[in-house]
Structure formats: structure tokens, C-alpha cells
Structure 1
Amino acid sequence: MQLSFQQHEEKLAKELSVMYFFTGTEEFLVEESISSVLKRAKKDGFSELERFEITQQESWAEVLLALDSHSLFSEKKILIAQLSRNVFGKNVLNELLKWVETNDESTILILRGANWDYRLRRAEWYKFMVKYATVVVSESLSIQMAMKWITRMASEASIRLSRDTCEELAILTEGNLAAARQEIERLALSFMSENKTIEIDDMNRMNWSLCGAFDAINEATRGNTQRLMNQLEALKRGGIQPLMLVGAVASHLRQVHRMCRGETISTSYRREQDMNQLADRLGQRNVEDLLIECTHIDGEEKGLIRGDAWDAIESILLKIAGSQGAPLVENSVSNLRIDYSS
């Protein structure tokens, strides 16, 4: 069957399918659709995830083998195949049909289609998918629908936007929800400590140098040390204050700490994957230590603790990226404790 994003959400609330095909022109909604299936499947006991990339006909061999193989680590597993080209030979479709007809519901196959074109609906492989899989096509949204999504994303980020601000964001991003989410995450970093409704003037007055801070944190999270150092140099030249940057870093680490404790956070699929990898790489104790180090930087700026704030921030971000930084502060403050939940 073929569903819209909204119809998919309604069906998913009732049941999972064994095979999905996701495509469309709105990348954000495509990723949201996949993410929602993964979250629902996790609740239903699907604990193993394998990823594949389909670049040519021969790439299917590995996927088909995985479909016929039982997991060594879990009774239920999910396979995600990213198609850089929509290549479905007759043999592949026959094998998929055999698998669907004999599936014991212990495996879910998620296919992420290549570039979407409405003319693909005439293709035999697409008709096959509509018949045997749940096909979800996410297409561009109107400004009004984009505003509803922006309001929802802002609420999930714990900030409030006025209606005019929502409309302005929808227009500026041309209804591109992935771009809108990125802007909302930046707004959340800027206004995280203010209990207010963000108006257009607030957004326009926002210190956009924080955008560079956001990029630096992302590079650190992904372990891109050289790009991180380039971003930090640019931030220094731009005159950003260390405390503004450390506030953004601490906010990011608090989210990672929540993930370490098994909590679910609201963010983009790509960023969630990056943060999950960071949580696994650092572990809860190291994240807590880094949060404590963030609290020291305020003391360094005020001269209460010996050290340089920029060096301290650089050291924290390098540790996030997987590199060893210099000690930040004197041992006399190493026993400080903070409330991670605030």
C-alpha cells in the first residue's frame, strides 16, 4: 500500500509492517518516517540493526543473504538498505516475494529509495512495492503545514515561538523542515535559559556567531578534529565569548548524558545517530566529568580558578572528538558535583 507521512504515522500506531519503502522530496519527513519505525520496533523487541547500501544490482546479494540468515545476537532484527539507485531486477523481486510470503515477523526490511520522481509509479518494481510493502511517500509541504511542524519541533526543543516567528522560519527555509530543525536547534542554544516566547525581533537580534559554535560542536561529536580546530579558530577571530560557547557545549553534553541514561531526546535522525555514537564512545562517567569541567570555565573567566577559558573549551571539545586535551583546572576543584538533570 502507498501512504502519506500522516497515514503512515496512523498505521504505525496500530502495527508494524515487515517491509517498508520510504521515498519522497521532503528529506526531513523521510528520515522522520524511518526514525518512527525504528523507535516503534525497538519497543517491540527489535534490538539488532544492520545497514546496507545498494549501488548496483549485485549489491542485493548481501541483503538477501541477511534476510535468510537468523541473527546470532537477537531474535528480532531490522535491515536498512539505502538505495543510491532504484535498482530492482526481476530476480531480486522474486527473492523479496519469497521472503515476504515466508516471513515469521522476526525481521523488518526498510528500503530508503533514491531520488523521487512521480513517474516512478509506472515502474514494475514500484508496483511490486505498493503491493507487498508499505510505501511511504513524503512530499513537499505547504507553508501552513510547515508552520505546524515548526511549532511541534520548537515545543520538543523546549522553546516557544510566536506565530509570526514560525511563519518567518517557514518562509526563510522554504518549507524545508531539515533546515528549519537546524535553525530551531540554534535558537534553543541561544534562548535555552530564557522563559519567553521568541519573536521575530529576538530571532533577528540573536548572536549568529553561535551558529559557528553549533558547527564546532557537531564536528567534535563526529570526531572531525581538524574541522573542529578550524571552527574554533574562526570563532576566536569572530570574537565570540568563551562563556557563550561553553553554554552551548554544556547543553549538548546534557543531552548526551540523557542518552547515556537511556532517555529519548528530540532531534534530527542524523544528529541522534551522531550523539548515540558519542554516548557509546565516552560513556556516562566521562560525560559527567566533561560537564564538571564546563562548570570550571566560569571560574576561569572570573579569575577564581587558574587557567585559560579558551584552552579549557578547546580541551573539552578535543576530548569529545576523541583526542586527549590538557588538564583544565587544578586538582583542588576536581571534587565538584553538578545536577545533570537541570
Structure 2
Amino acid sequence: MKIRSDQLQQHLNQKTLAPIYIVSGDEPLIQQECCDLIRQKARDNGFSERILLQADGGFDWETLLEHTNSLSLFSDKKIIEVRCQSSKFNDKAAKVLKTCGESPVSDNVLLLITPKLENPIQQSKWFKTLEKSGIFIPIWPIDAQHLPRWIKQRMQQAGLTATAQAIQLLSERVEGNLLAASQEIAKLTLYAENNHVTEETINTSVSDSARYSVFDLIENTLAGSVNHSLRIFNGLKAEGIEPAVMLWAITREVRNLLQLTQLQREGLSLEQAMQNQRIWEKRKPLIRQALQRNSEQALEQILLTSGQVDEAIKGLSDDNIWSALQILLLKLAGISVINEHSL
């Protein structure tokens, strides 16, 4: 069954847990929040053991079946979380996932987290089998037209009211990045007098915020401004930005670029592809520059490397996180990194 992300809370309140949840999309904030709701419901229902699997290019999908069929070491129920780095699934993955959909285990909850899944995948036999046994939650991006309403709702949840001008100003500042919008709203709770946000409140918040932003970093990287990107990178690092926030920003951009290349292969012009993906007008020149420098193969390699950085952030490897992030940025900016370990 397919439901919208804003229907998930009601589903979890009214029904028992499904054996399978597929949370798919390229909007990290909403995807994370949906997964958190599912995890919390699972914990409340006695699923106290959590198994985390990183499905990168070298992942052995038989591992999923082994965990599915094995008895839990610590409890009667367990949640098996599979984080997919790519929206492409080979024949082995399809076979294993189809098996999971055909024979779901009542004492398990399978949480499959993926980038945006295109229609051919959603129409495949293995996916339909999973969807029939569980819940599919596609995460749709919020476009410029609906972003102000989303921001207004988030402000209300934070106990804030705001003028229409303030909401529009914040919408323009974050350019569709919901993670950034959420962070700005949290910051506004410190600046808003009587919990009311005006344009002046937002300007004050921005002027007092960090000298650099992750948006400046990504835009300069897309433009190929290597020296400026590295200065911003070092500034953000010194100011204490979380590595996960920077990684989200990079991987989101790479996935967007990959989606554009795939649409072009399907026959769309770049302009048509950007309209399809709702690219903001003033970002289109940056996107064009990035695609001129990076082939589809190069972008897929960056995305694969980002999975290794994610493991380092989670403490699953000893790689130097900041050096690895710097390498990702250099590659996206079009710089060939000969000896990655030297950074």
C-alpha cells in the first residue's frame, strides 16, 4: 500500500506495524523523520533489537535473508534497516527482496530506505511484492509554490507565528532545502520577540549566524570555484558544522545531477529535465556547469564514495571524515584526486 509521508503518523496511530516499510526519496529531512516515526513505533511494540545494513555496491543481499531468518539474540522482535546508496537494484537484490515480500516474518520489521525510485522500479515484480506486503512511502520534494505553507506549518509546530513577508523571505533563502529551513526555524525561536517572526527577525538571525553556510559551499562547488569552496569548507569545519549535514548536502546534489542525466538519456533536453525536477531558475547555470564537468559514471562514483563517508561518520570505519568530505567536494568541482589518502 502506498501512503503519503504526512499520512504516516495517522497510519501508525491507528494500525499495527506492517512487516515492511519502504521510505523512498531524496529529501533527507522528511525521510529521516518518517524513519524515526517507524523506529519509535517499533520500539514501543517490543522490537528492541535493531540491525543496520549498508547496501552499497559490494553488498551481499544474502545477508539480508540471513538476518531475516535467524533468531534474535537479544529479543523476540527486531527491526532490520537496509540503507540503499543507489536506486539501482541488481538481479540478486531483486530476488532477495521479492522473497522478503512473499514471506514476511511476523517478528521482524524490514525498513528499506532508498533514494527516489523511478516508475520502472515501482512497476517491477519484486517491488510490487514488497508493496503488497507492506507500506510504500514516497517522499516528494516541496516546490517553490508549496514551500511557504510548509514553513508556516513548521513554525506553528515550533510555537511561532510569522508575517507573510517573513515566511516568503525564509523560503527564498533556503531555496527548497527543508533541512536548512528546519534549522533556521529552530534558530528563530531564539530571536523571535513574543514568538512572532518578522522580516527583521530573519535578517537579524542571518546576520548573527555563521559566516559561511553549506549552501555557499555547494553553489561554489557546482560552479567549480575550487579555492573558494575550500575556504568555505575550512570555515564550516572551524565553526563546528556536523559532518552529516555537509554529507547530506553533497549527496542530495549528486543524486539530483544523476537524475538529470538519466532523464536526458530517456530523451529529454537538459532544460526539460530541469523543469521536470523543479530546479530553481537561478540554480540552472550552476547545474549546467556541474554536468559539463561530471559524467554519469563520475557522479555514480562520488555517490558510492559518499556511502563510505557515511560509514565513517557512523563510526563503522577509521577513515578521516573531513579528508573524505573534502575529496567528495573536489571531485564534484571537477578536480581529479590522484592520491585520495594524501589529503
Equivalence for 1:201: 200
C-alpha contact (below 8 Å) 1:55/1:85 kept by paired residues: yes
Equivalence for 1:46: 47
- What is the alpha-carbon distance in structure 2 between the residues aligned to residue 85 and residue 229 of structure 1? 28
Write the deviation string for residues 229-275 of structure 1: whole angstroms up to 9, x where unpaired: 8338xxxxxxxxxxxxxxxxxxxxxxxxxxxxxxxxxxxxxxxxxxx
Equivalence for 1:177: 178
- What is the alpha-carbon distance in structure 2 between the residues aligned to residue 21 and residue 42 of structure 1? 18
- What is the alpha-carbon distance in structure 1 between the residues aligned to residue 206 and residue 40 of structure 2? 35
Find out whether 1:111 has 2:112 as its counterpart.
yes
Equivalence for 2:18: 17
Task: Percent identity, please.
Answer: 23
- What is the alpha-carbon distance in structure 2 between the residues aligned to residue 207 and residue 170 of structure 1? 13
C-alpha contact (below 8 Å) 1:186/1:210 kept by paired residues: no
Equivalence for 1:80: 81
C-alpha contact (below 8 Å) 2:24/2:117 kept by paired residues: yes
Normalising to structure 1: TM-score of the pair? 0.55
Residue type matched to 2:81 in 1? I
User: Map of 1:151-162 to 2, 5 A cutoff?
Assistant: 151-162=152-163
Structure 2: runs of 5 or more not aligned: 215-233, 241-313, 315-343
- What is the alpha-carbon distance in structure 2 between the residues aligned to residue 207 and residue 180 of structure 1? 12
User: Map of 1:280-319 to 2, 5 A cutoff?
Assistant: none
C-alpha contact (below 8 Å) 1:57/1:88 kept by paired residues: no
- What is the alpha-carbon distance in structure 1 between the residues aligned to residue 89 and residue 194 of structure 2? 52
- What is the alpha-carbon distance in structure 1 between the residues aligned to residue 211 and residue 77 of structure 2? 41
Q: Evaluate the alpha carbon distance shift between residue 98 and residue 120 of structure 1 in structure 2; reply closer, same or farther with a 3 A threshold.
A: closer
Equivalence for 2:142: 141
Q: What is the Cα deviation at residue 40 of structure 1?
A: 1.8
C-alpha contact (below 8 Å) 2:100/2:130 kept by paired residues: no
Q: Evaluate the alpha carbon distance shift between residue 121 and residue 169 of structure 1 in structure 2; reply closer, same or farther with a 3 A threshold.
A: same
Find out whether 1:31 has 2:39 as its counterpart.
no
Q: Which structure is larger by alpha-carbon Rg, 1 or 2?
A: 1
- What is the alpha-carbon distance in structure 1 between the residues aligned to residue 94 and residue 67 of structure 2? 15
Q: Evaluate the alpha carbon distance shift between residue 182 and residue 44 of structure 1 in structure 2; reply closer, same or farther with a 3 A threshold.
A: same
- What is the alpha-carbon distance in structure 1 between the residues aligned to residue 154 and residue 114 of structure 2? 25
C-alpha contact (below 8 Å) 2:166/2:198 kept by paired residues: yes
Residue type matched to 2:194 in 1? N
Give secondary structure in 2 for the equivalent of 1:75: coil
Q: What is the Cα deviation at residue 108 of structure 1?
A: 0.7
C-alpha contact (below 8 Å) 1:190/1:210 kept by paired residues: no
Q: Evaluate the alpha carbon distance shift between residue 86 and residue 210 of structure 1 in structure 2; reply closer, same or farther with a 3 A threshold.
A: closer
Q: What is the Cα deviation at residue 20 of structure 1?
A: 1.3
Equivalence for 1:56: 57
Q: What is the Cα deviation at residue 78 of structure 1?
A: 1.1
Q: What is the Cα deviation at residue 58 of structure 1?
A: 4.2
Normalising to structure 2: TM-score of the pair? 0.55
- What is the alpha-carbon distance in structure 2 between the residues aligned to residue 120 and residue 98 of structure 1? 16
Residue type matched to 1:82 in 2? R
Q: Evaluate the alpha carbon distance shift between residue 87 and residue 210 of structure 1 in structure 2; reply closer, same or farther with a 3 A threshold.
A: closer
2:239 to 220, 227, 231: 231
Q: What is the Cα deviation at residue 57 of structure 1?
A: 6.3
- What is the alpha-carbon distance in structure 1 between the residues aligned to residue 29 and residue 236 of structure 2? 26
Write the deviation string for residues 252-302 of structure 1: whole angstroms up to 9, x where unpaired: xxxxxxxxxxxxxxxxxxxxxxxxx9xxxxxxxxxxxxxxxxxxxxxxxxx
Q: Evaluate the alpha carbon distance shift between residue 70 and residue 87 of structure 1 in structure 2; reply closer, same or farther with a 3 A threshold.
A: farther
Q: What is the Cα deviation at residue 48 of structure 1?
A: 1.9
Aligned length: 221
C-alpha contact (below 8 Å) 2:21/2:137 kept by paired residues: yes
User: Map of 1:237-256 to 2, 5 A cutoff?
Assistant: none
Q: Evaluate the alpha carbon distance shift between residue 126 and residue 88 of structure 1 in structure 2; reply closer, same or farther with a 3 A threshold.
A: same
Equivalence for 2:3: 3
Residue type matched to 2:203 in 1? N
Give secondary structure in 2 for the equivalent of 1:205: helix
C-alpha contact (below 8 Å) 1:186/1:214 kept by paired residues: no
Q: What is the Cα deviation at residue 37 of structure 1?
A: 1.0
Q: Evaluate the alpha carbon distance shift between residue 140 and residue 92 of structure 1 in structure 2; reply closer, same or farther with a 3 A threshold.
A: closer
Give secondary structure in 2 for the equivalent of 1:164: helix
C-alpha contact (below 8 Å) 1:86/1:114 kept by paired residues: yes
Q: Evaluate the alpha carbon distance shift between residue 14 and residue 210 of structure 1 in structure 2; reply closer, same or farther with a 3 A threshold.
A: same
- What is the alpha-carbon distance in structure 2 between the residues aligned to residue 104 and residue 61 of structure 1? 16
- What is the alpha-carbon distance in structure 1 between the residues aligned to residue 135 and residue 21 of structure 2? 5
C-alpha contact (below 8 Å) 2:116/2:138 kept by paired residues: no
